Amino acid sequence: MARKATQKDADGVEFMFRALGYPHLRARAVADHVLIETGPLDAPIARIRLRKVSAEDWRVEMLLETRWEKTPNVGPRGNMVAAICDLFSQHNDGNA
């Protein structure tokens, strides 16, 4: 049974992003997921989200055009934040 994401969950995600060198990523709790955004505060751009699928596990979902797509990444929140950072670093390395 899915559970509601809390602002504490979002704060933890944002803290991990900052610690891992991604201070431009912001997180906020919305229903059963933590939405990860970039851009100006008054016009945020949703990039990716973590959907809470159980008390301990989260699923990474990516926004592709206008639709959220599930990824195979499921696990504890910290592991999923690390997976997201890995995705961002691979993307940035390919565009350097």
* Residue 1 within any structural domain of the chain: no
What string of pLDDT tens digits covers the 96 residues of the chain?
558 999 999 999 999 999 999 998 999 999 999 999 999 999 999 889 999 999 899 999 999 988 999 999 999 999 999 998 887 776 655 444
pLDDT at 2: 53
pLDDT at 96: 40
* Residue 2 within any structural domain of the chain: no
- Which residue from 45, 96, 5 is spatially nearest to 80, judged by alpha carbons? 5
Structural domain including 78 reads 7-94
Instruction: Work out the burial of residue 62: count CB atoms within 10 Å of its CB; fewer than 13 is exposed, 13-18 middle, 19 or more buried.
Output: middle
* Residue 41 within any structural domain of the chain: yes
Q: Structural domain tally of the chain?
A: 1
* Residue 51 within any structural domain of the chain: yes
pLDDT at 47: 85
Contacts of 80 (CB under 8 A, 6+ apart): 50, 58, 59, 60, 73, 74
